[in-house]
Amino acid sequence: MQKYFLPYIAILMIMVFIASCADKEPKSNTKVAFIKKDIVHLEDGSEIKLGDSLLKVYYLIRHAEKDTQKTDPILSEAGIKRAERLTEIMRQSWLDAVYTTLTSRTMLTVDSITQYKGLSNNIYTNDNMKETFTGVMNSPSVNRVLIVGHSNTIPPLANFLYGKTHFQKTIDDKTYDNFIIVVQQRDSTKKVYELKY
């Protein structure tokens, strides 16, 4: 009996070691520190490797905080700071395209990113959203995309890109820090990450 005990313990220890080294799923609501290439570095020191055979990566966020006193509001002071933070997060990332709605708050959220990356801002509307992003999904040259929308449009758009219903409700009107990533591998498998920034 004792001669089988030591090999059993050794195998058990090896299995525990392997399990502890495996990639762990990030907790929802973990904050993004920065994105470099296809690795998302989180504020808790962990990272998400989006994959070795990536086809598409979609970064979806709601516009930054807005000045609520206007019809087409611009960003508030907190919103300007959040937009600056988003630029820092995305500075080392690979982006092929940026999409926003035709509102001041969404365009101002990505203004410094588009300038830094030398990208133009592509406009989409609620009416042409599915058509626009079907085109993006089928484009061989647009593979890393930042999308800025609204509390009621980002969840359904994330579901559309993911190919199934993951998000059941809209974003709370007072929440501006959601950072959703939808990843599609070359074998067509998809994954969604719910983070914060």
- pLDDT reading at 21 higher than 60: no
Q: Please, which pLDDT band fits residue 34 given cuts at 50, 70 and 90?
A: very high
Averaged pLDDT of the chain: 90
CA-based torsion, 178, 31, 98, 51: positive or negative: negative
Q: Supply the pLDDT for residue 19.
A: 43
Encode pLDDT of 89-105 as tens digits: 999 999 999 999 999 99
pLDDT digits (tens, 9 = 90+) for 156-178: 999 999 999 999 999 999 999 99
Predicted confidence (pLDDT) per residue in 63-80, tens digit = 999 998 778 999 999 999
Q: pLDDT band for position 25 (50/70/90)?
A: low
124-141: pLDDT as tens digits: 999 999 999 999 999 999
Q: Total domain count for the chain? A: 1
Any residues with CB less than 8 A from the CB of 141 and at least 6 apart, and which? 96
Q: Tokens for 101?
A: 């709605």
Residue at 1 is within a domain = no
The residue range of the domain holding 85 is 26-196
Asked if residues 109 and 61 have their Cβ atoms less than 8 Å apart, the reply is yes
- Residue 78 resides in a domain: yes
pLDDT at 16: 45
pLDDT at 20: 44
DSSP 77-93: HHHHHHHHHHHHHHTTB
Residue 66 resides in a domain: yes
In a domain, 158, yes or no: yes
Is there a domain that residue 173 lies in?
yes
- Does 185 map to a domain? yes
Mean pLDDT of 49-72: 94
Which CATH number is 139's domain given?
3.40.50.1240
7 part of a folded domain: no
Per-residue confidence band for 23, with pLDDT thresholds at 50, 70 and 90: very low
